Structure 1
């Protein structure tokens, strides 16, 4: 359940168990987001548009916003994207549906250690997960950039994460790796073909509920 901080022009939501501590908020707007203070969010300490622009850069979607004096709420980008982060999760940005919930940003675990599946909870750091954010391109470039199409993300029981819908998968620096309408992504941390599933979850005895 997200905690909310309401100001005069903007309401900020924060869901702690989805935060991956990217620190975009503090580094860009420390007067608004300061973990050393209580409350740590001050929604009136900067113009609402600056706050909204910063929140749009939060990769995990832990921070959200609602404009109170205009209709300029967050919208999904034209093309659904999953960026493979170095030694970390897959960062999705698009018209997402996860467990029936509509989202625009979410980071999905690929180390197999999260306690909040299918979302990343920063467990990859403690687990010392190592996986490149610059894997080789698959060479597959099927149509997959239909603007506005819904991307459903399904965590299969004891198995991979399925992305069903138009999707472009990129490296952490933005190079295209794959484009299509269906992808199975490793979330056990054991695949030899990361970020894609190669069936290693079966031999690894990976256990995770449907999500």
Structure 2
């Protein structure tokens, strides 16, 4: 995973921007154009708003490309772990997230990430918007039966581990809630494998196609 971080400072807050993780969802521009304006240089001017307002808007960034520091409080994980299936796009994850390699070594700990599911990102496992360049198509729906829905009060809390299997899927371990525009949200704590080669016939879940297509991840 590559990083290219730019910092923008005011007296009250520092905004950090990782251009390698930005996929131009434009949540920052829509919510606070006085601070986030791509037509300006620099495009981030944190002195134009309060630190609290900037923190609020940064939390809307679905990829984790925007962070903040220098304030009295650090960003804490969302109270519940969520996985949002973006049609023809990535998985948006929020919560107490840890990305590991197949051996269980920690690669990244974060509160917001966008995970590639087209298989073509140059910054795997993170999305870099390549799905648009290759016209990736994937429905937002999912089979509830694969998730073993649960109504447990503890569901969606605690560590959410994404384990990158060698040249294979992402194994999700922990409790989470799955969102989709095509289905009702589902709470689950089942370990599931999400496709990241982009060619599974059971998207967003893995069906073993990565072996047939020679996916390298």
* TM-score normalised by length of structure 2: 0.88
Map 1:15-30; keep pairs closer than 5 Å.
15-30=18-33
Question: Structure 1, residues 74-132: CA drift from partner, whole Å, max 9, x if none?
Answer: 11122211110011000000001124222000000000110001000000000101111
Distance of 2:124 and 2:97 partners within structure 1: 16
Aligned residues: 206
2:113 corresponds to 1:106 = yes
Q: Distance in 1 between matches of 2:205 and 2:110?
A: 22
**Mapped partners of 1:126, 1:144: distance in 2:** 41
Listed one character per residue, the Cα deviations across residues 147-199 of structure 1 (whole Å, up to 9, x for unaligned) are 64111112212100111211222214773246124111000111111111111
Q: Report deviation, 1:136.
A: 3.9
1:159 and 1:188 in contact (8 A); partners too: yes
The question of whether the paired residues in 1 share the 8 Å contact of 2:81 and 2:96 is answered with yes
CA RMSD in angstroms comes to 1.9
Distance verdict in 2 for CA 1:156–1:144, change over 3 Å: farther
Q: Which residue number corresponds to residue 170 of structure 2?
A: 161
Distance in 1 between residues matched to 2:30 and 2:204, nearest whole Å:
29
Q: TM-score, normalised by structure 1?
A: 0.90
Q: Which runs of 5+ in 2 are unaligned?
A: 101-105
In the TM superposition, structure 1's runs of 4+ consecutive aligned residues that sit over 6 Å from their partners are none
d(CA) in 2 for partners of 1:65, 1:174:
33
8 Å contact kept, 1:171–1:177: no
Residue 200 of structure 2 corresponds to residue 191 of structure 1: yes
| Partner Cα distance (1:23, 1:88) in 2 | 15
CA distance in 1, matches of 2:45, 2:181: 31
Q: 3-state SS of the aligned residue for 1:8? A: coil
1:62 & 1:98 partners in 2: Cα distance?
Answer: 16
Match of 1:6 among 1, 9, 29: 9
Matched ranges for 1:13-52 at <5 A:
13-52=16-55
1:129 is matched with which residue? Answer: 136
Correspondence for 1:78: 79
CA contact (8 A) 1:76 1:148 kept: no
Quote the Cα distance in structure 2 between the aligned partners of 1:158 and 1:172. Answer: 29
